[in-house]
Chain A
Amino acid sequence: RKEVEQDPGPFNVPEGATVAFNCTYSNSASQSFFWYRQDCRKEPKLLMSVYSSGNEDGRFTAQLNRASQYISLLIRDSKLSDSATYLCVVREEEYGNKLVFGAGTILRVKS
């Protein structure tokens, strides 16, 4: 079983759509969670951290459910520029600052 699992997609959506990505993780001791964005095999960039209470950053909302070991990302009013691969990431502090990545979910926003 992979440590972090995501639906690979691709998700093909029209501009303005709302789209949701889900992710599950296997290590119940994990404490820190993130969504990264990766454009066309460039370096991953931090999109947002994920907190237990849920958090929002503009059109992006992240949620964490520790009991189910489940993380989600909601994108509202999709833009063409949102087209990218979204990586679900769990931090393992016991190994210093190790990040465990899901394989990524591809989003394609079309006009």
Chain B
Amino acid sequence: EAQVTQNPRYLITVTGKKLTVTCSQNMNHEYMSWYRQDPGLGLRQIYYSMNVEVTDKGDVPEGYKVSRKEKRNFPLILESPSPNQTSLYFCASSLGYGALATNPYYEQYFGPGTRLTVT
């Protein structure tokens, strides 16, 4: 089954304790992205990757790191989590990207979400 998986689905942690949220897709997608969702703000992009070893900042990258060592995986790393990073996180992937990409190549598939609480 074609899918995007995230782990863990729920995490409660304390300030400063490094954590990693994994994201994996089995569709051979080029593009992967992380979003966070907060009440009243909608989903906002944290980081994105257009291919292996190619990553770039989104709108809210502060406090986060990512890596793309393999095409299928795009982990999100919080080196020193703080309470303002309490949020619902979604990973997404798409086959293609850019202005020339047409549907279905740019359609993004979302993972099930990771609910993170930092106390």
Chain A residues engaging chain B, CB cutoff 8 angstroms:
4, 8, 31-32, 41-46, 49, 87, 91, 93-104
Contacts and interface: CB of A to CB of B under 8 A. Distances in A.
A99 B88 contact: no
B74 interface: no
Interface residues of B, number: 32
Given A41-B88, A43-B112, A97 B101 contact: yes
Interface string B11-34: 000000000000000000001010
Contacts of A94: 99
Interface in B23-49: 31, 33, 35, 37, 40-45, 48
B99 to A, nearest CB: 4
A46 B99 contact: no
A97 B90 contact: no
Contact of B97 (A44, A96, A104): A96
B94 interface: yes
Interface of B: 31, 33, 35, 37, 40-45, 48, 50, 56, 58, 88, 90, 92, 94, 96-99, 101, 103, 106-108, 110-113, 115
Nearest to A102: B42
B89 to A, nearest CB: 11
A4 B94 contact: no
A43 B101 contact: no
